[in-house]
Amino acid sequence: MSDRRKISFLGLGVMGGPIARHLARAGHDMTIYNRSPERRERWQADNPDLAVRIATSPAEAAEGADVVITCVGNDDDLSDVVLGPNGVFRTLKRGGLFIDHTTASARIARQIAVEARDLQVHCVDAPMTGSQIGAEEGRLTLMCGGRPDAIAMAMPVFEAYTRRVVHIGRAGAGQTAKMANQICIAGIVAGLSEAMRFAQASHLDTDKVYEAISGGAAQSWQMDNRWKTMAADEFDFGFAVDWMRKDLGLAMDEGRGLGVSLPITALVNQFYAEVQAIGGGRLDTSALVRRLPLPGKRK
């Protein structure tokens, strides 16, 4: 490839693992790191054809890299691997590029951007949407915060695993846009759950209901991809309820700081807490329907 780079990828989870694979297959010189060795070993076993270097710490991963990408769990994880005593910013070279795909707070994104500026490192907060399927197929959408020159540097890297990249604004703007995305999803899934139970209580053929309503104003990605699995009570895939609750918490925290009321978001967050209480924390977010009783047969 014409733009081969030394890339270090930290965080080989449901989304990060496929992204790292796309980057390695695009011809980049890859180093990988994961806090859990078991997950890293599983990634290697799943990708035996890909030659990568293994780092034992974030600082080691960043040493000599042109680009460091993180995709971890939350603010604390991100702060540890980037700003911690053995973090990325201890060794990432001046003029290097740091990209974060974690869904985190705008506050930590802005803090990292300030630290990056002082170190003369280019920085992009780039949370994503597109689901696990999008990551596997390299069709993610990124919403980015950062300086235009940093976004321009990142674009050749993004080409390996995205279909759309939108520069939202300055540092933290990508994270705030992702919060808006999760607010939308939460409301849609709540409505979809009620519609499903309504159709089932009416003894309608849910496949025919989908055929009838999916081509009109009710259509959504969630309907197209989750209606049939919700009807079949299948939720062992996709974006976990635990992670959605984390994301909605970030949105509500940001909303309070902005003085914005988010009553529907708060209500759906409570609904998801009910799903967690019945053991559904690791199920796909469409498991929200499980908090509603399955209608019994009419007498």
| Residue (of 242, 269, 271) closest to 255 by Cα position | 269
Q: What is the CA radius of gyration of the chain?
A: 20
- Structural contact between residues 66 and 98, judged by C-beta atoms closer than 8 angstroms: no
Active-site residue 178, yes or no? yes
Candidates 6, 93, 178, 299; catalytic one: 178
Q: What are the beta bridge partners of residue 200?
A: none
Neighbour count for residue 28 (Cβ, 10 Å): 23
- Structural contact between residues 91 and 60, judged by C-beta atoms closer than 8 angstroms: yes
- Structural contact between residues 163 and 137, judged by C-beta atoms closer than 8 angstroms: no
DSSP 8-state assignment for residue 93: P
| Burial (Cβ within 10 Å: 0-12, 13-18, ≥19) of residue 44 | middle
- Structural contact between residues 227 and 214, judged by C-beta atoms closer than 8 angstroms: yes
Cite the active site residues. Answer: 178
